[in-house]
C-alpha cells in the first residue's frame, strides 16, 4: 500500500510542472529537421527569385540548397542567352531569316516558362525540383 501511494505522489509531482518549464525544455531541444524547416521557411523567397536573378542566394549562407538554386538560375540564363545567340546566327542561313524572329520568341518563351515553373514550385514548398531539360548541369559545386 505504501508503494502505491508513493507512485501516485510522483505522478502528481510530474503533472504539476507548469507549461512554461515544459515549453522551455522543448525549445532547447531543437532537432536537425526543425532547423532545416526554419532555414527553408526563412529563405524560400530568395531561392524562388534565384530563377530570375541567380546571384541572390549567393548572399545567403553557403549550403547545398543555395548552390542548387544558384545552378538552376545560371542554367536559365545560359540557355536563354546562348540559345538566342545561336538562333540569331541561324538567321543568316539563306531561307531561315523569315523564321528566325519567331524561333527566338518561341525559344525565349519556353525558357521563361521553365523559370516560372521553378519559381512557383519553390514557393509551393516543392523543395529542390530540377528544371526539366535544362536543370541537370551543376556549375557551382
User: Could you report the per-residue pLDDT of 68-91, keeping only the tens digit for each?
Assistant: 888 989 999 999 999 999 988 888
Whether the predicted pLDDT of 18 surpasses 80: no
**Helix, strand, coil % (nearest 5) of the chain?**
70, 0, 30
- 22 versus 45: the higher-pLDDT residue is 45
Q: What is the pLDDT of residue 82?
A: 93
What is the rounded average pLDDT of the residues 9-16? 53
Local confidence band at 112 (pLDDT 50, 70, 90 cut-offs): very high
20 — phi, psi (to 5°)?
A: -65, -45
Going from N- to C-terminal start, the domains of the chain cover 2-123
- 116 versus 9: the higher-pLDDT residue is 116
Amino acid at each position: 500500500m505504501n508503494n502505491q501511494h508513493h507512485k501516485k505522489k510522483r505522478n502528481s509531482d510530474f503533472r504539476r510542472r507548469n507549461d512554461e518549464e515544459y515549453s522551455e525544455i522543448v525549445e532547447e531541444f531543437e532537432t536537425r529537421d526543425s532547423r532545416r524547416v526554419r532555414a527553408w521557411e526563412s529563405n524560400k523567397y530568395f531561392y524562388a527569385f534565384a530563377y530570375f536573378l541567380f546571384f541572390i542566394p549567393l548572399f545567403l549562407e553557403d549550403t547545398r540548397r543555395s548552390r542548387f538554386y544558384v545552378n538552376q538560375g545560371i542554367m536559365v540564363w545560359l540557355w536563354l542567352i546562348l540559345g538566342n545567340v545561336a538562333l540569331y546566327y541561324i538567321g543568316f542561313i539563306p531561307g531561315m531569316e523569315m523564321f528566325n524572329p519567331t524561333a527566338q520568341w518561341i525559344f525565349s518563351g519556353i525558357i521563361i516558362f521553365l523559370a516560372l515553373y521553378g519559381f512557383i514550385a519553390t514557393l509551393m514548398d516543392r523543395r529542390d525540383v530540377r528544371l526539366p531539360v535544362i536543370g541537370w548541369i551543376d556549375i557551382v559545386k
